[in-house]
Amino acid sequence: MNQSYNILNRPILTEKATAAREATNTYTFRVVPGATKVQIRQAVESIFSVHVKSVRTVSVPSRPKRQGAFQGRRSGWKKAYVSLKAGESIALIENI
């Protein structure tokens, strides 16, 4: 199996992500925490056959969570904003 599929976990389909996609041709993905910008670029280009203009990443911190008397933490994760060159799109995400 191609290692690119291990880098990208799933696309993020929120209102903010949809607005960014429509305004600036930027797609948002949840990625593995150890992924670098270069690895994310290569994964998106190989999986979706597009040309990436830029990659920005954000490490989302863990948060405390409580269920009654039990306390715990919601795990942290990494988010990647991937901007594509003009005129290109990812068809799978556009159709959702």
State how far the Cα of 67 lies from the Cα of 65, in Å rounded to an integer: 7
Structure confidence at residue 94 (pLDDT): 67
Number of domains comprising the chain: 1
Structure confidence at residue 38 (pLDDT): 97
Whichever domain contains 48, its CATH number is 3.30.70.330
Q: Using an 8 Å Cβ cutoff, are 43 and 4 in contact?
A: yes
Residue listed under structure tokens 């830029």:
54
Structure confidence at residue 14 (pLDDT): 94
Q: Give domain status of residue 80, yes or no.
A: yes
Structure confidence at residue 91 (pLDDT): 85
Q: Give domain status of residue 91, yes or no.
A: no
In terms of residue numbers, what domain contains 55?
Answer: 4-65+72-85
Structure confidence at residue 96 (pLDDT): 64
Q: Give domain status of residue 90, yes or no.
A: no
Q: Give domain status of residue 55, yes or no.
A: yes
Helix, strand, or coil (residue 85): coil
Q: What is the H or E stretch that residue 37 is in?
A: helix 37-48
Q: Give domain status of residue 32, yes or no.
A: yes
Q: Give domain status of residue 96, yes or no.
A: no
Q: Which of 2, 5, 50 is nearest to 26 (CA)?
A: 50
- The ranges of the chain with pLDDT < 70 are 1, 94-96
Q: Give domain status of residue 36, yes or no.
A: yes
**Model pTM score:** 0.88
Encode pLDDT of 83-94 as tens digits. Answer: 999 999 998 776
